[in-house]
Chain A
Amino acid sequence: MKHTLQQVFHSGKFVVGFIIFTFILLTVIVYPLFVKAPPLAILSQGTFFPPGIYVNVYDSIGSQPYTLMLDDATAKRIASKLGDQERQDIKDWLLAFGIPENEVDMADTENLMDQWVNNYDPKVQLPGMTFAKQRYYQRLNASLEGILATEGVTIATRNAEAGTLEETDTVAQTDYVNVTEVPNVRLLVLGTDNFGRDVMTELVSATGTSLMIGLVAGLIATTIGLVLGLLAGYMGGVVDDVIMFFTNLFTVIPTIVLLILISFSIGQENRGPVVIAVVIGFTAWVWTARAVRAQVISLRNRDHVSLSKISGHPIARIIFTDIFPYIASYVIMAFILQVSSAILYEASLSILGLGPKTTEVFTLGLMMNWGMIYQAHILGKWWAIFPVIVIIALVSFSLNLMNTGLDQVYNPALRD
């Protein structure tokens, strides 16, 4: 046993797969200890906030201001509102308005803004410009207001009795707050999703659920496959024929079709993650059964098995002590593959709208499903969908790698 483990951990492929998988598993276990927020809590009003650090504006105003004299502050401020695209748009408008091309210089911010402020009039209708484009320029104009100003902003509060505004504070352009002094800062590593949930927390919880589904489905499938394979291979005769009939049947009927029909029949209300796992487990045993049977048949007539038979050992004992040890490595490999394929099947089912119901838990497939329903991939909201694909790929990659590593240890012919 010790020797086998040593050998297994000498295989580079297995170790890499093992490390990736352990890392994901540890994250799933450790992360909830630090982030206590419930994974399905809806944080944001509005959908798909991009990843980043969210600093409370109200608290920032109340915090102690520090004056920093940074040279490039003005340039950055202008650049954030007046990027290359906006400059190009402004130039286009000015040209269409009738300003000669050689007078418009996109690189000269001050001159460009001068020309814009002097010439732009929201009421002017340029020939051939669509209404949407017109609205765009109105919005652009509003956002550019005060962009070249050098004085600060005045903060005022409304007097509750008189209803007048009273100046309470001013914010200069050189004022800074120290983020550690602002009481309300929230780091959203992966932004929020279509419901306004924190994607990172959700992803960790969904990974946990999906791994659980994979594990349950894998265990069920392996157990069924192992039992049927052992029975068919060892008993032979009619038992073998019957088992092989069903095995061959379910090999050819596509698993996804069975899964679709069964989960549709179960109905949305009854589909929890465990139910889905069980359904996947009950449709995925075929491969294990076939392979185990083939191995058992080759073992059945070995000398040590015959010896056990002659000694009058009961069948259960022969199977467990004389046959099982020879196929154990194979069964473990089949189990690993089944965990990974179960996770993929859950994802496929969920994308089809047949996954677990959404209200209680989240799985990787459901995250894909909702991301796609809200077209996150087409709208460029990568954070709602790509991390999910990466996690699915990493889990399945690490499991496959572990499997290949084991294969090379147990099949010397495949060794490098």
Chain B
Amino acid sequence: MKGYARYFGKKMVWFGITFIAAFLLNFILPRLMPGDPVAAITARMAQGQTNAAGVEAIYRQYTELFGTNKSMLEQFIIYVKNVINGDFGFSFSQYPRTVASVLSVSVWWTVILQLPAIIVGWLIGNVLGALAAYRRGGYDKAVMPLSIFVSGLPAFGMAIILLVIFGVRLKWLPTSGGYGFDMIPNWSWAFIRSVILHYILPFFSIVLIVIGGQAIGMRSMSIYELNADYVKYSRFMGIKDNKIIRYVFRNAMLPQVTGLALAIGTMVGGALVAEIVFSYPGLGTTLLSGILGQDYPLISATALIITLMTLIATLALEILYGFIDPRIKAAQSD
């Protein structure tokens, strides 16, 4: 068990370093932006005001409020202090709402949408890929080009295709939002039903894309394994195909777990853009509104949360990997 502690400790340290690096980038990059965001918000707030002194006062008040008049270092110290307290400041574009209050809602929409979608897509993709490698022939010839085509399709493309077919043409499912626009979030059946109906299309557009990519990877892995010596040897020994397949599947699965850990950032990015297609009230749509409103506290915090979510997912997968890979298990058991 001591070995495991070392393995996980190493992973945790790495997690910490990556997070700090991401945090620094998150702080610095948006602040290099040309143009004064406070001027933009003042212009909006001061619309219709003819009094120049009044506009000036508003400008000064916001500069103080957001701290844009201080030096970079001071801003950074304030930022770190605030982030630790979970305070990301006010949103420029949705003032007087705070960034934390905007994000604390949208982050759950994204987690509830993307986590199950990626897991389901990954599982189905791997089964399909392994089947394609094992059965070969017609099944392989049908599944493979389709998978390559689907995985080449961007997530937003799949989202638009599903939206137009099932939402606009067939009118089976709603086209936008996370729930009916005439509803207020509560725990009634009508609301939950509406949420589920709005969930289906975004969910499947992510699942389908993930299936495509995973099936291709799993197929190659399984073909490698099927040609391995131990498979041939097992066949000579007369071990049943079913049993061999289980070994092959398990061995091919391990690199796929690593693959998922490495690809999860790309998947999340694609899925965020797919959210925008459906105006799903998650991080993607929040990000879009932040960009349109030149709202750097919002963008910076959203980027930070996306990074953090990806990092946690990666860490979870690596810990899982430590448990299921017999080689790591063996190395850590002494």
A residues in contact (CB < 8 Å) with B? 248-249, 251-258, 260-262, 264-265, 267, 269-270, 340, 344, 347-348, 351-354, 368, 372, 377-378, 380, 382, 385-386, 389, 392-393, 396-397, 399-401, 404, 407, 413-414, 416
Main secondary structure of the interface of B (DSSP, over half): helix
In the complex, the number of residue pairs spanning A and B with C-beta atoms less than 8 Å apart equals 146
Q: CB-nearest residue of chain B relative to A390?
A: B157
Cβ of B303: which chain A residues have Cβ within 8 Å of it? 257, 260-261
Docked Cα-Cα span, A88 to B251, in Å, equals 63
Identify which of residues 247-304 in chain B touch chain A, using a CB-to-CB cut-off of 8 Å: 262, 265-266, 268-270, 272-273, 276-277, 287-288, 291-292, 296, 299-300, 303
Measured CB to CB, the closest approach of chain A to B169, in angstroms, equals: 8
Given contacts A261-B299, A397-B149, A414-B220, whether A253 and B154 have CB atoms under 8 Å apart is no
Q: Are A353 and B33 in contact (CB under 8 A)?
A: no
Q: Are A347 and B160 in contact (CB under 8 A)?
A: no
Q: Are B152 and A393 in contact (CB under 8 A)?
A: yes
Main secondary structure of the interface of A (DSSP, over half): helix
Docked Cα-Cα span, A353 to B224, in Å, equals 43
Q: Are B33 and A253 in contact (CB under 8 A)?
A: no
Q: Are B152 and A414 in contact (CB under 8 A)?
A: no
Docked Cα-Cα span, A267 to B35, in Å, equals 8
Partner of A348, one of B270, B306, B310: B270
Q: Are A351 and B299 in contact (CB under 8 A)?
A: no
Measured CB to CB, the closest approach of chain A to B275, in angstroms, equals: 11
Partner of B265, one of A248, A256, A264, A389: A256
Q: Are A267 and B273 in contact (CB under 8 A)?
A: no
B interface, how many residues as a size bin?
A: 35 or more
Partner of A414, one of B29, B223, B291, B296: B223
Q: CB-nearest residue of chain A relative to B268?
A: A254
| Sample of 20 more A-B contacts, CB < 8 Å, known A256-B265, A261-B303, A392-B153 | A249-B21, A253-B310, A257-B306, A260-B299, A260-B303, A261-B300, A264-B296, A264-B299, A265-B30, A351-B276, A352-B288, A372-B277, A377-B164, A377-B277, A378-B176, A382-B164, A386-B160, A393-B153, A396-B154, A414-B220
Q: Does B34 contact A (CB under 8 A)?
A: yes
Cβ of B26: which chain A residues have Cβ within 8 Å of it? 261
Q: Are A261 and B265 in contact (CB under 8 A)?
A: no
Q: Are B262 and A347 in contact (CB under 8 A)?
A: no
Cβ of B145: which chain A residues have Cβ within 8 Å of it? 401
Q: Are B161 and A262 in contact (CB under 8 A)?
A: no
Measured CB to CB, the closest approach of chain A to B14, in angstroms, equals: 7
Q: Are B291 and A354 in contact (CB under 8 A)?
A: yes
Q: Are B276 and A352 in contact (CB under 8 A)?
A: yes
Q: CB-nearest residue of chain A relative to B157?
A: A389
Q: Does B314 contact A (CB under 8 A)?
A: yes
Partner of B30, one of A261, A382, A399: A261
Q: Are B18 and A252 in contact (CB under 8 A)?
A: yes
Contact with A along B180-216 (1 / 0, CB 8 A): 0000000000000000000000000000000000001
Cβ of B227: which chain A residues have Cβ within 8 Å of it? 413
Q: Does B22 contact A (CB under 8 A)?
A: yes
Q: Does B148 contact A (CB under 8 A)?
A: yes
Given contacts A397-B149, A413-B224, whether A348 and B154 have CB atoms under 8 Å apart is yes
Q: Does B117 contact A (CB under 8 A)?
A: no
Docked Cα-Cα span, A106 to B145, in Å, equals 48
Q: List 25 A-B contacts (CB under 8 A).
A: A248-B18, A249-B21, A252-B310, A252-B311, A252-B314, A254-B306, A254-B307, A256-B269, A256-B306, A257-B269, A260-B291, A261-B29, A265-B29, A267-B33, A340-B152, A351-B273, A352-B288, A354-B291, A377-B277, A378-B163, A386-B160, A396-B152, A397-B152, A400-B152, A404-B148
Measured CB to CB, the closest approach of chain A to B287, in angstroms, equals: 7
Contact with A along B6-50 (1 / 0, CB 8 A): 000000001001100110011001111111000000000000000
Cβ of A377: which chain B residues have Cβ within 8 Å of it? 160, 163-164, 168, 277
